[in-house]
Amino acid sequence: MTHTSREYAEALYELAAEEGKTEAYAAALDTVEAALAESPGFLNLLASPAISREERMDALSAAFQERIPLSMLVLLRMMVYRGHARSLPQMMESFRDLAREHRGETVAKVTSAVALTDAEQAALRAKLEQRFGKKMNLECSVDAALLGGLRVETEGRVLDGTLRTRLQEIKEVMDS
């Protein structure tokens, strides 16, 4: 995540907090994210130096006016105007991170060899919440290359209990 995208996210979060509308702003960012996902070329248009700045600003306003808070639209226009359109996805992710931090939550990215059941996710969430003292939101994914076990990334830490890593550690011990 770039420093620039984090600064924009902090400014947007401060605006949202001042207005008491952090959840509404998060929902508006979902609208922006959905529009970018629906039309991947739109971000390219907003970032293209071949298209005049005025046309890019008009396109942004046309896409989101009346759909998102005015102060958010102004911030997005500022990003496009200053040539930071490509930082939009990172800025939105940073905003969500800030919102979670202020709610005392964090995200744990969990990768496992097979899909975890709801019961397994609940048990893992409870253990992680006990260990870190925060509410955990799990983002689970499957990577069959892990062979077994799971890997958790949260708050800059990696908890790796995968079979692949353990086998690698055994191999290193045997090679030394």
> What is the pLDDT, as a whole number, of residue 47?
93
> What is the pLDDT, as a whole number, of residue 169?
87
* pLDDT digits 0-9 by tens, 64-121: 998 999 999 999 999 999 999 999 999 999 999 888 888 888 888 999 989 999 999 9
pLDDT of 1 over the 60 cut = no
CATH code for 105-175? Answer: 3.40.30
Domain layout of the chain by residue ranges: 3-100, 105-175
**C-alpha closest to that of 42 among 62, 28, 24:** 62
Helix axes 70-81, 22-38, angle to 10 degrees: 50
CATH code for 3-100? Answer: 1.10.520.20
In which order are the strands placed within the sheet that holds 157-160? 135-142, 105-112, 150-154, 157-160
**What is the pTM for the complete model shown?**
0.69
Quickly state the pLDDT bin for 62 (edges 50, 70, 90): very high
Residues 60 and 46: beta-carbon distance below 8 Å: yes
What is the per-residue burial (b if ≥16 Cβ within 10 Å, else e) of 18-35? eeebbeebbebbeebeee
85: CB partners within 8 A, 6+ apart: 43, 46, 47, 56, 79
